[in-house]
Structure 1
Amino acid sequence: MDSFSTKVRTFDAFPKIDPHKTQRSSSGGFSTLVTALFILLVTWVEIGGFLGGYVDHQFIVDDKLTSDLFINLDMLVGMPCEYLHTNVMDVTHDRLLAGELLNFQGMNFFVPDIVQMNSENNDHNTPDLDEVMRETVRAEFNVAGTRMNEDASACHIYGSIPVNKVAGDFHITGKGFGYADRHRVPFEKLNFSHVIMEFSFGEFYPMIKNPLDFTGKIASQKLQSYKYFMTAVPTLYEKLGIEVDTYQYSLTEQHRAITTDETGLPSDIPGLYFKYDFDTIKLLIAEKRIPFLQFVARLATIVSGLFIVATYLYKLYSKTITLIFGKKFAYKDTEKLDGGLLGS
């Protein structure tokens, strides 16, 4: 029994060289120091990556039953509020008189410095997780359906309107164009120059930037049509147990001047059109961290691999120096071993 326990204690699957049989050298010491520093650096990076986690992007089927949601709007149109007609129409032929829920405030038309005017809104980036979490300040409009100074030269339109979660169209037109009205806006009064400060879907997060935010157009003609085509994708952000359930959308746009026929009637309806649809796929962006045991196994594998690579590199270096300069030069800084038949 004692013999078996002794064998177990002395068993080593990876036999090592006895210290008194090894030879030390300055080049070997330097390579060991470099290897140790490099391993410490890699370990530090791996620990930082483990503590910081990683951002995981996944596409899943949107199984959340939501029949309606909100369109959040804040924009300025270069026409008096009394001349404007706002409406929502979707594929179910459900019509919403958005003018009863939105707020209309007459004011002078102006363009803030941060707004990009007359530019193509084709370059859109998905906000990263940290940016969204930093800017998710949920808000609501305090009022709805108010009207002030409707005869001013421009109209500030803002508020949230509920819409069905189906393809639809929110549009702003002049009175008498597209819908029967007792009054028709004269052609010379039409001006669909506009500045968009906010256009989003879902809960209102005013700090999250969307493709239409801080953009605008200056109408070159009275009869002008601006059409924005959007596909909204449900997006769920998760970090540290906090969830932000919102929508992001892709955007294409089309704008053109409308011609008139021989009788003076326009060939199309001038105005602003926001045509939207919803994707059935949901984007999940979450910060995750690998399990601790998996992290330990990963770190051990990396460190072991570095030791092996460093060993082979040092052997390759030694052979190269020996071939080029000879053994005498290669082993000049190697200590001498004492003992043996040929020792001192």
Structure 2
Amino acid sequence: MENFAKKVKTFDAFPKVDPQHQVRSERGGFTTLVTYLFGLLIIWIEVGGYIGGYVDRQFIVDDKIHSDLTINVDMIVGMPCQFLHTNVEDITQDRYLAGETLNFEGIHFFVPPTFRINNPNDFHETTDLDEVMQESLRAEYRAEGARVNEAAPACHIFGSIPVTQVRGDFRITGKGFGYRDRSHVPFEALNFSHVIQEFSFGEFYPFLNNPLDATGKITEEKLQSYMYYAKVVPTLYEQLGLEVDTNQYSLTESQYVIQIDEATQKPVGVPGIYFRYDFEPIKLVIREKRIPFFQFVAKLGTIGGGILIAAGYLFKLYEKLLVILFGKKYVEKGTEKKQGGLLDNEVDQKRDE
């Protein structure tokens, strides 16, 4: 058995130091204590990271065309509802009268105090996963196609418009401008000042932020035209098995005043508010992940071993610097050789005699 133990010992990748070659010191004890505390801190951080997981972002090809997609709108336009015409037209020339599903409520025009007015809406960042999960309360508009007090000075337009997931645009114009209509809005009644509370694509999550939310434009021009261009990216959020399938979009915009032809005294163009959108052929997937448990254990073992090895080398370097700066006697002061060697046993026997 002893021979077997000796043979195994020769293959030990980390041979142990014999007790007679070990030395105790205050500096060594302090270094050991600091190393253990630092190791516990690292383990605590790694365990917290494992429990909290990490956020993984990936782009995949979106090979699905959703025919039941909706545009969610909640805005106020500074002219009476009875003068407004709304419709949607996509790239296939398919038109949909948005007024059949949208609700029109006559009110007085006002600007909420927190809204951004006449500012360029060219900045948008992807919402954090935790924020989406906290604010992902799905809702629906209670009414559809309602018309109330249409002669009021301003019009509150809200509701959801069913569209196909292809390029298109949603238009808000005056009656008689751009489309044949029984009535024609006089120039002096046109006013396309507007504030937008909600403009989003897909399922209606009223508490998720979008680039056009809480924005607006105010103008005194009668023939004003506003153009909003949205690049829509389908986005899937996933956390602990819960999924929020929504859409986010980037935005650019332009605006101009339409001129009047001097010969015909008619505007060269159609004033109004235009929302042009296009869907990207990719999908952003944002999900929370955790590394496998055995991989986590192996990672902890690797980190622990690395800390011990690094601490050993740093302590040796520190001891050598002390020898160079203060001499060997200073370094050996306060040290205590550990008992257990053969010579120590002989010395103890002589003292006992």
Q: What TM-score range do you get, normalising by the shorter chain?
A: over 0.9
For residues 181-200 of structure 1, what are the structure 2 equivalents within 5 Å?
A: 181-200=181-200
Work out the CA distance in 1 between the residues paired with 2:103 and 2:14. Answer: 79
What is the match of residue 294 of structure 1?
295
Work out the CA distance in 1 between the residues paired with 2:34 and 2:332. Answer: 20
Gap runs ≥5 in structure 2:
none
Q: CA deviation at 1:21?
A: 2.9
Work out the CA distance in 1 between the residues paired with 2:238 and 2:91. Answer: 33
Q: CA deviation at 1:63?
A: 2.5
Work out the CA distance in 2 between the residues paired with 1:110 and 1:176. Answer: 26
What is the match of residue 33 of structure 2?
33
The one-letter code of the counterpart of 1:322 is V
Q: Deviations over 1:254-305 (max 9, x none)?
A: 1112221213321221100000010110000000100001101111111111
Work out the CA distance in 1 between the residues paired with 2:19 and 2:246. Answer: 64
Gap runs ≥5 in structure 1:
none
Which stretch has the larger CA shift, 60-69 or 86-95? 60-69
What is the match of residue 328 of structure 2?
327
The one-letter code of the counterpart of 1:37 is L
Q: CA deviation at 1:78?
A: 0.4
Q: CA deviation at 1:20?
A: 4.2
For residues 5-44 of structure 1, what are the structure 2 equivalents within 5 Å?
A: 5-7=4-6, 12-44=12-44
Is the partner of 1:324 in helix, strand or coil?
helix
Work out the CA distance in 1 between the residues paired with 2:220 and 2:164. Answer: 34
Q: Percent identity?
A: 62
Q: CA deviation at 1:120?
A: 1.0
2:120 aligned with 1:130? no
Work out the CA distance in 2 between the residues paired with 1:65 and 1:82. Answer: 35
For residues 1-344 of structure 1, what are the structure 2 equivalents within 5 Å?
A: 2=1, 5-7=4-6, 12-262=12-262, 263-336=264-337, 340=343
Work out the CA distance in 2 between the residues paired with 1:337 and 1:221. Answer: 94
Kept in 1, the 8 Å contact 2:24–2:338? The answer is: no
Is the partner of 2:24 in helix, strand or coil?
coil
Scaled by the length of structure 1, the TM-score of the pair is 0.95
Work out the CA distance in 2 between the residues paired with 1:287 and 1:18. Answer: 49
Work out the CA distance in 1 between the residues paired with 2:245 and 2:292. Answer: 26
Work out the CA distance in 1 between the residues paired with 2:7 and 2:81. Answer: 92
Is the partner of 1:181 in helix, strand or coil?
coil
Work out the CA distance in 1 between the residues paired with 2:257 and 2:335. Answer: 87
Q: Deviations over 1:207-258 (max 9, x none)?
A: 1111111111101311111100001111011011111111101100111122
Kept in 1, the 8 Å contact 2:232–2:247? The answer is: yes
Kept in 1, the 8 Å contact 2:229–2:251? The answer is: yes
Q: CA deviation at 1:28?
A: 1.0
Alignment root-mean-square deviation, CA: 1.8
Is the partner of 1:17 in helix, strand or coil?
coil
The one-letter code of the counterpart of 2:200 is S
Work out the CA distance in 2 between the residues paired with 1:142 and 1:44. Answer: 50
Which stretch has the larger CA shift, 5-14 or 315-324? 5-14
Query: Cα–Cα, structure 1 residues 12 and 175, in superposed 2: closer, same or farther, change >3 Å?
Result: same
Q: Deviations over 1:78-99 (max 9, x none)?
A: 0000010001011100000001
Number of aligned positions between the proteins: 343
Work out the CA distance in 2 between the residues paired with 1:72 and 1:238. Answer: 23
Is the partner of 2:336 in helix, strand or coil?
coil
Work out the CA distance in 1 between the residues paired with 2:65 and 2:174. Answer: 36
Scaled by the length of structure 2, the TM-score of the pair is 0.93
Q: CA deviation at 1:182?
A: 2.3
Work out the CA distance in 2 between the residues paired with 1:87 and 1:60. Answer: 32
Q: CA deviation at 1:64?
A: 2.9
